[in-house]
Amino acid sequence: MNDPDTVAADSAQGIPTLEFEGTTPYEDYVHASVLTHLQQPYSDDPGEMAFLVTTQVMELWFTLLVHEWRTARDALYKDDTERAMDALRRSLTSHQALNDSWRPIAALTPVQFNAYRTALGEASGFQSAMYRQVEFLLGDKSLSLLQPHKGHPRVHAELAAALAEPSLYDAVLEHLHRQGLPVPQEVLHRDVTQRYTAHPGVEEVWRQVYAGPQHSPLVALGEVLTDIGELVWRWRSDHLLATRRAMGAKAGSGGSPGVAWLEKRATRSVFPELWTARSHV
C-alpha cells in the first residue's frame, strides 16, 4: 500500500502542497493560530512578553505531565508495568523541559520585573489549576486549594475530581502490595483526598525492594520515581531562586509570603520513603 504522504509528494513533484480548501492540516492539528494569539500583555514593557510566553509554555508542560502520570497511574492499577514505565520515562524528558523553561526569565533583575509586575495585579502562579493537578498527582492535596477556582465551574469540577482520585504514588503502593510486599493496610486504605504523609512501613517496603536484586522491575520503578522526585525538587528550587532574584523578600502578588512560601515548599520531598529508605539499605 502506498504511503499517502509519498503519493502527495510525488504528485506535487517534490513541491510542498500550497493550496487547501480551508485551513492547513497543520493548523487543524496544532491550532497554532490560537496558541500564538493568546499573548495579551498588560503593560507596554517589552520584557513582559518573555514572562507571559514562558508562563504559558509552563502550563503546556504541566498539561503533558498530568497526562503522562495519569497514564502511568492507571496502568499500574492494571499491573501493566511496561505501559506505566514508558509513561514515567517520557515524563522525565518533559519535566526537564519544564525546568529548562525558567531560563528566559530566571535572571530578571528587580527593576526588569517591576517594569510590569504591578500590571499583573493579584495574578500568581499559585493560582495555576493545572499545576495544582500536578501537585495532586504527586500526593500533595488540600481541599482548600480548590477555593481560588470556585468562580470557574469547569476548572473547579476538574480539580475536585482530581482531589478525589488516587495519586500516582497511591497506585505505586497498591502495585507493590499486589507484588507481595507488606504495604501497611492503613496506607492502602487511606483517605486519598488528604496529603500523603510518610509512613515507616512504606520505608521498610522500599528498603526491601532495594535490598533485593538490582535489576528487578521494582527497583527500576523506584529509580524512575526518584528521578521524578529529583526533578520536582529542582523545579521548586529554580522557582525559589528566580523569585528571590527578581523580587527579594517581597510578598507574592497573589497574597502569599513570596519567597518564604516557596522556601517552605522546596523542603517537601516527593515520594518521601524512597529517599529515607536509602539510609537503611
Indicate if the pLDDT at residue 117 is higher than 70. Answer: yes
Q: What is the mean pLDDT of residues 139-143?
A: 94
Does residue 6 sit within a domain?
no
What is the model's pLDDT at position 21? 93
Q: CB–CB of 162/136 below 8 Å? A: yes
Does residue 162 sit within a domain?
no
Does residue 130 sit within a domain?
no
What is the model's pLDDT at position 14? 83
Q: What is the mean pLDDT of residues 232-242?
A: 93
Indicate if the pLDDT at residue 39 is higher than 80. Answer: yes
Q: What is the mean pLDDT of residues 217-227?
A: 98
pLDDT band at residue 7 using 50, 70 and 90 as cut-offs = very low
pLDDT band at residue 24 using 50, 70 and 90 as cut-offs = very high
pTM across the whole model? 0.91
Total structural domains in the chain?
Answer: 1
Does residue 251 sit within a domain?
yes
The three cell numbers locating residue 220: 527500576
Average pLDDT, the chain: 92
Indicate if the pLDDT at residue 247 is higher than 90. Answer: no
Q: What percent of the chain clears pLDDT 90, i.e. is strictly above it? A: 81
Does residue 82 sit within a domain?
yes
Q: Torsion-angle region of residue 77: left (phi > 0), alpha (psi -120 to 50) or beta?
A: alpha
What is the model's pLDDT at position 11? 55
Domain span at residue 260 reads 53-122+168-191+198-280
Lowest mean pLDDT among 11-20, 118-127, 189-198, 251-260: 251-260
Three-state helix/strand/coil letters over the chain: CCCHHHHHHHHCCCCCCCCCCCCCHHHHHHCHHHHCCCCCCCCCCCCHHHHHHHHHHHHHHHHHHHHHHHHHHHHHHCCCHHHHHHHHHHHHHHHHHHHHCCCCCCCCCHHHHHHHHHHHCCCCHHHCHHHHHHHHHCCCCCHHHHHHHCCCHHHHHHHHHHHHCCCHHHHHHHHHHHCCCCCCHHHHCCCCCCCCCCCHHHHHHHHHHHHCCCCCHHHHHHHHHHHHHHHHHHHHHHHHHHHHHHHCCCCCCCCCCCHHHHHHHHCCCCCHHHHHHHHHC
What is the model's pLDDT at position 266? 80
What is the model's pLDDT at position 4? 52
The three cell numbers locating residue 15: 513541491
Q: Look up the CATH number of the domain holding residue 100.
A: 1.20.58.480
Does residue 149 sit within a domain?
no
Does residue 266 sit within a domain?
yes
pLDDT band at residue 252 using 50, 70 and 90 as cut-offs = low
What is the model's pLDDT at position 124? 84
239 has binding-site annotation: yes
Does residue 104 sit within a domain?
yes
31 has binding-site annotation: no
Q: What percent of the chain clears pLDDT 70, i.e. is strictly above it? A: 93
